[in-house]
Amino acid sequence: MSTPEEDIRPVVTVTLNPAIDQTITVEALRPGHVHRASAVRRNAGGKGVNVASCLADWGTPVVATGLLGSGNATAFEALFAAKGIADRFVRLPGETRVNVKIADLAAADTTDLNLPGLTADADALDRVRRTLRELVLPGTPVLLAGSLPDGLPADSYATLTADLRALGARVVLDSSGPPLAAALAAPDLPFCIKPNRHELEAWAGIPLPDTDDLLAAARGLHRCGVAVVVVSLGADGALFVADGPALHARLPAVNALSTVGAGDAMVAGLIAAFGADLPLDGVARLSVAFATAKLGCFGPNLPGADAVRALAGQVELSTL
């Protein structure tokens, strides 16, 4: 007979296009001017890596896989070792891309410069697919996250979702543009998606200026077979659509040390809530609390669990 510990399925995160995030903080960004940075930080990142890091801080067992350049993998290996994340990344020749993020303190905003990175091919994707077949059991939560590297077709996430659904996994997809559109047009749909307003508008092909428009698009995706649709709205929280009434969840504004990775922290909260079999209001509370808690930390990190739970208790919920 299995023990409760043996019944716990580690979360598997898949990041096909990770990045080293270099965050440069300036007092006020003025294009065309010389700036003196007040701080510079480098973090191993990419959506799935950020989610794995936050889940590890929460105490969830995590396995991270995807594609990683062997030339500068040290930063990732150090993060995985420090947080107890199992490293099953496929190594490719070359270097993982570097993303430059300029944090403007005066505007409380961040400007992203995403540099080119690895080029992958069908063999690289097949190596990830084989790795997933070794890792995934029925009921395993699997996150597919981020952009695709050059060389992989737009339907790569659709292909992985079909594989994972056949293995009995619960798939969460956090992507945008053609990869998201291809995944949502495929027969095998993910369990959950988390677009932001702009990503949902890009998928819909029309502006979605108010809450009713966003809800209509999200409910349409739910009717097509996506069990949970979450639309993140930045400082305004998020919309949650599943069976039953939709919810709007938000927390009062907080002083943010860094907004980088807040959406990834929300995805980590979603996965943690799904793992605890929480109802939709619990999913909303925990995921918004994760995102807000991350605002007080640099890098893909969370404070202690007690601080996150306290925030979850303060989340304002309204039924739509």
Catalytic residues: 264
- 273/92 Cα distance (integer angstroms): 34
DSSP labels, 185-198? HSSS--SEE--BHH
- 86/52 Cα distance (integer angstroms): 10
Q: Is 216 helix (H, G, I), strand (E, B) or coil?
A: helix
Instruction: Tell me the Cα Rg of the chain.
Output: 19
Residue (of 174, 115, 108, 119) closest to 141 by Cα position: 174
Residue with tokens 């006020």: 28
Work out whether strand 109-114 and strand 97-104 pair parallel, antiparallel, or are unpaired. Answer: antiparallel
Distance of CA 240 to the CA centre of its chain: 16
Residue (of 147, 87, 145, 144) closest to 117 by Cα position: 147
Spell out the residues 6+ positions from residue 68 whose beta carbon is closer than 8 angstroms to its own: 18, 76, 89, 90, 91, 92, 96
Q: Is 173 helix (H, G, I), strand (E, B) or coil?
A: strand
- 44/99 Cα distance (integer angstroms): 10
The two structure tokens encoding residue 88: 């099953």
Residue with tokens 């990419």: 46
The two structure tokens encoding residue 23: 């965050």
DSSP-derived letter for residue 317 is: E
DSSP labels, 288-313? HHHHHHHTTSSSS----HHHHHHHHH
Q: Is 276 helix (H, G, I), strand (E, B) or coil?
A: coil
